[in-house]
Amino acid sequence: MIFRWAIVLLLAAIMAPRPAPAQAPNGLDAAKAFLDRTVRVSGMRTLALPGDSGYGIIAGERRTAAGDTELIIVLPDHLVRDPARPNAVFSAPVVAFRADPGKGIFARLLDQHLPPADGDLAVVAVPKPANMQLRSMPTADLALLAPGAPVWTTAHGGDWSPQAAAGRLAVRGRTTWLNFDGLFGINEASGAAIVNQRGIIAMLVGQNPLDRALTQGLPIDAIAARMRAWDLPWDTAAGAAPAPTAANPSAGTAPVAPSTDPTISGLVTLLPSEVAARRSWTPMGARVSPWTDSPIRLFGAPRSAAPQIGTLPAGITLPGRVLMNGAYAVIDKLDSGAWFLLAVEGRPVGYVTANDIVEIWPLPEATGMAGGKVVREWTAAAGKVAALRDAGNAYELETAVTCAKDSCDMIIAYTPAPPNEGATLPTFQTPPLLGHWQRGDVITLRLQLPRRIVEVPGTKLMACTGREGNCIQETLLPPPPK
């Protein structure tokens, strides 16, 4: 069982009633709505072999020189070309539509493509079936995606329907690909759309070759950029683009749909003077995590009665390590921690209140300690001297704990969850200190602490030392009576 700070913080916590957050569109419904823009594809066919099966996404439509309308479909390149045999010749790919899955239509493979190593993207054109109406489908803003966000696909295995259980976005790396976990039947579902409640995120490509538990997807913004560079239609709204004319030279250009993401239109930027007056110090690398069972409510401004403009996922949807180390970056901490302005992928997304989050500060190295004025010294574990220092912007605590189990591999320092005795807002936590210790080992802890933890009467700072899901708690602050 994955250990999470919530096992320590929330077992006995009873959260105060909160206003119900605005309900976001359901991602499973969004995936179902996109099914008519997903087609089944059979590629690399020969007279002797049926070829490979997968899916494609209708990217848009255009009129041919003869005045007919054809659909432009994106799909993984490995479905229609063999990277090991670049000169191999195959029969034309066959495309089937969900409205008539038993009827295949020959498609024309276009020259524009990216081989698997460079993106795995191919394009085919097929005559548009009579009376076919494409449903509009927005694209999600990838800058607002957070690790652990739930996702769905428009196919799993050979089943042309969404997987009922959501997958999730894994930790995003600095690569072309997006990685997902919890998606099943992906070998036969290559080319399906990956969507969340706000729109399409990516095209499913296949397993991550370095981690077979993860699914790779080509981000939708990368596909859109490539299609525009190739001068091919990219329009997730419905309707064929008319041919340009002298009277209307902009015809054929896909309209830019207004953003449906509330975190863009509703976010208020504070004046520099207001930020300066309200800003509170945080160390570089400070982050916040949501409560395990509650999404983070995003507000448009750091003021009482500010409108709620969106949410970020509850902790239960996040990978355990992401949750423990802090899921969202802090741009500004305001009013001594009453408000935080959060960022996803470097982009501000909204303000959150102290009630909704856990504040997480990185663990400093010994050389990073400021060494401020000693406020108090006392005896900690195994006779070690513990010291609390006033470092100006924060307090520093140097203390020690003992491994009281047969073996220990993790230490977490935290304040109790409200309304428990010793709790404070916002709740504070450190990332886990990882190591390998045996029973009786004494471990030195060095922490930077928000000033409120020392200065608010009755606040407690705890440590839990042990293994995942099984640790022993002890009090770090306040110091024992003199």
- Cβ-based burial of 361 (10 A; exposed 0-12, middle 13-18, buried ≥19): buried
- Token pair belonging to 44: 């690399």
- Token pair belonging to 301: 């401004």
Q: What is the pLDDT of residue 175?
A: 60
Q: Is 305 left (phi over 0), alpha (psi -120 to 50) or beta?
A: left
Q: What is the pLDDT of residue 421?
A: 93
Give me the mean pLDDT over the 108-118 stretch.
Answer: 91
Top pLDDT among 321 and 220 is at 220
Counted residue by residue, the chain has a size of: 482
Q: What is the pLDDT of residue 53?
A: 85
Task: List Cα–Cα distances, 7 to 2, 207, 316, 419, 470, in angstroms.
Answer: 10, 32, 11, 16, 9
Share of the chain above pLDDT 70, in %: 85
- Token pair belonging to 342: 């959060």
Top pLDDT among 256 and 419 is at 419
Residue located via tokens 């913080």? 9
Q: How far is the C-alpha of 278 from the C-alpha of 336, rounded, in Å?
A: 8
Q: How far is the C-alpha of 333 from the C-alpha of 342, rounded, in Å?
A: 9
Q: What is the pLDDT of residue 398?
A: 94
Contacts of 171 (CB under 8 A, 6+ apart): 147, 179, 319, 322
pLDDT tens for residues 397-425? 999 999 999 999 999 999 999 989 999 99
Q: How far is the C-alpha of 343 from the C-alpha of 176, rounded, in Å?
A: 21
Please measure the distance between the N-terminal and C-terminal CA atoms of the chain and give it in whole angstroms: 41
Q: Quote the mean pLDDT of the chain.
A: 81
Give the pTM: 0.54
- Token pair belonging to 376: 């108090």
pLDDT tens for residues 267-316? 888 888 888 899 999 999 999 999 888 888 899 899 988 888 888 888 87
Q: What is the pLDDT of residue 171?
A: 62
Q: What is the pLDDT of residue 7?
A: 37
Q: How far is the C-alpha of 324 from the C-alpha of 150, rounded, in Å?
A: 18
Radius of gyration of the chain (CA): 27
DSSP for 80-121 reads: T--TT-TT---BPPEEEETTEEEEEEE-EEEEEEE-GGGT-E
Q: How far is the C-alpha of 450 from the C-alpha of 394, rounded, in Å?
A: 5
Q: How far is the C-alpha of 450 from the C-alpha of 263, rounded, in Å?
A: 28
pLDDT bin (cut points 50, 70, 90) of residue 251 is very low
Give me the mean pLDDT over the 250-258 stretch.
Answer: 29
Bridge partners, 180 (sequence order): 169, 215
pLDDT tens for residues 194-238? 988 878 889 999 888 887 788 889 998 889 888 988 989 887 554
Could you tell me which of 370, 377, 375, 376 has the C-alpha nearest to residue 391?
A: 370
Q: What is the pLDDT of residue 164?
A: 77
What domains lie within the chain, and their CATH numbers? 5-17+262-360 (2.30.30.40), 34-245 (2.40.10.120), 366-477 (2.60.40)
CB 151 within 8 A of CB 201: yes
Bridge partners, 209 (sequence order): none
- Widest CA span in the chain: 92
Q: What is the pLDDT of residue 305?
A: 85
Please say if the pLDDT value at position 449 is more than 90: yes
pLDDT tens for residues 67-106? 889 999 999 999 999 888 878 888 889 999 988 888 888 9
